[in-house]
Structure 1
């Protein structure tokens, strides 16, 4: 970022302020926190940001020297959008401070370089800069590349096929005694108590092997 390097000097207070403005006007906006005849302190306009530039008159000279320069922005994108919309989207804060370069499509987290899709930091920077998020996606995910990949015939790989008979799973009875009766309804109980003839049920037939005489829980055949 083109800023005044540390130990740079200026002939006057006005010249120091103008040089700072000229070197930073294309990147972000700042405010002059303190301006005297011997001291100039500039800070980022976003509250809580750690960016700071300090220039003072060196003893025995009449020139301003850059004595302190903290170049990294630490504000959140949401704070920048709420407080100063003209602040730079290049510096993104959060649980981890990452620098996003929208021109080179790079981020310090490395997600964009591996997956070729924008990370959360890049999306926040794009949203702040009012750019389309799709501009950060790699051309590998484009529709043209998708059509090109399926334009030719795709044949299965030639290989040996294992011929083996697939048997049904082994049936194992659950723990405990198998249930032989069921809960009867009030109508069945009334018939039993009144010694009324009950309805004759048809022969049991297993739903697994389709054989009469037993039901599925008592079936010894493999599950079909």
Structure 2
């Protein structure tokens, strides 16, 4: 599948998902989302028989299997579940019930139905494809001709196209090293360079004498 088609399919799925959850949010009638409303009820049932001792207006000691300290002002419990999940634990729920307060007063607004509706308030706009080219079946696709490899040696130079300009190389003189002429048309006096073989013999003979 091409990358563009894959991205379009992902967009369609997210667009439908957001529309479904937007409809779910409209039908929510509780302060918290249904999932967290059920969680509050389960925590209340779990902590129903626990003993709660008051240390201060906001600090309590809760006796479950082990005793834990709950600070409602700091929203912490020594079991660390409140800090990890950002949602009151069973010990916190028991202290909230002790002071006859509502649990929603100590719950992050991100768990409320209002925030759920705000999350899916905006929709992903459709992207119509009426102005895109129609996909062609592979059977109707015109493929390039099959080119057979020619016998013989391949050309060494690249074939220059019709509108391509030829690159002209400047001539350099081997005598004076200047551009624009060669050694035959050079006006400078010729420079003598001894043959390479004689130069080697001369250098080797000089070294042996030393």
**When the two structures are superposed, what TM-score results if normalisation uses the length of structure 1?**
0.30
**When the two structures are superposed, what TM-score results if normalisation uses the length of structure 2?**
0.32
Q: Hey, which of these two has a bigger chunk of helix by percent?
A: 2
